[in-house]
Amino acid sequence: MPAASTTLRVLAASVIASLSVTGCQALDDAGVALGRADLVNDLAARMDRALERTWAAEYQLTGGGTASIAQTAKPLRSTYAWPGGKITVTQEAVTRCASTTARTSCTMSPPVLTAGKPSVVVYDEARKQGLVTPPAVIRLLTAAALEPEAVIKQSDTTLAGHHATCVDVTDAGERFTACVTTEGVLGSFTGTLDGRPAEITLSHYTDTVEAGAFAVPAGAGVVDRRPKAS
């Protein structure tokens, strides 16, 4: 099992061991009542499993910008695009692109598949750009559930035509709201990440990915820094 995936599942499982199942009640997909700890564990597990599947999602950002995530399980590929940038991780290369009004430039580096999951590299770089990523939300939910004083309220909504379970979390004066779809995709987030306000909302989701999603943007200048084959 990949190390990153194992870590997330251990954190989520520790919630069950540390909290009782009293408090706000939610329903799982089978209509069974869930306690506060079970709810957080279920959402974390959904998102973790989704990191190993094929899907593509588009998001609306604050200020009118958009971001997108796409990944495939076979072959392992993952990409995250945002206003002014894009990173794509495949088994052949890590490609980082930056765009200005004048041009787009990309740099290709040797492949890095952390724990066999290209999505790990993508999400880490996206987080550095101030974007909301599924692993970041998983960590926030788990930390809040382990805090006895945290208040977690559940609700349900529909985002981009997909049912989503939402939690509104208040902990030590800090507050965030996160929604996760039945498929395990991050549906929305409003709150603070790394000390900065962050907001993202799902606008489109599909379980198929076009090959072009992993391509270098048309017209981009490319610098290939991978070792040349001898």
**CATH no. for residue 172?**
2.50.20.10
Q: What is the pLDDT of residues 42-90, one digit of tens each?
A: 898 899 899 889 999 999 998 889 999 999 998 889 999 999 999 999 8
> Does 160 reside within a domain?
yes
Amino acid symbol at 143: A
- How high is the pLDDT of residue 117? 66
Domain tally, the chain = 1
pTM attached to this predicted model = 0.79
Work out the pLDDT band at 130, boundaries 50, 70, 90.
confident
> Does 50 reside within a domain?
yes
> Does 229 reside within a domain?
no
Residue 57 belongs to domain spanning? 3-224
> Does 230 reside within a domain?
no
DSSP letter assigned to residue 227: P
> Does 21 reside within a domain?
yes
Contact present, 169 and 175 (Cβ < 8 Å)? yes
Helix (H) or strand (E) holding 70: strand 66-72
Alpha carbon distance 198, 193 (integer Å): 6
Contact present, 98 and 213 (Cβ < 8 Å)? no
> Does 38 reside within a domain?
yes
**How large is the average pLDDT for residues 87-106?**
91
Percent of the chain whose pLDDT exceeds 70: 80
Angle made by CA atoms 45, 199, 38, in degrees to the nearest 5: 25
Phi then psi for residue 115, to 5 deg, are 55, 25
Alpha carbon distance 86, 78 (integer Å): 11
- How high is the pLDDT of residue 21? 31
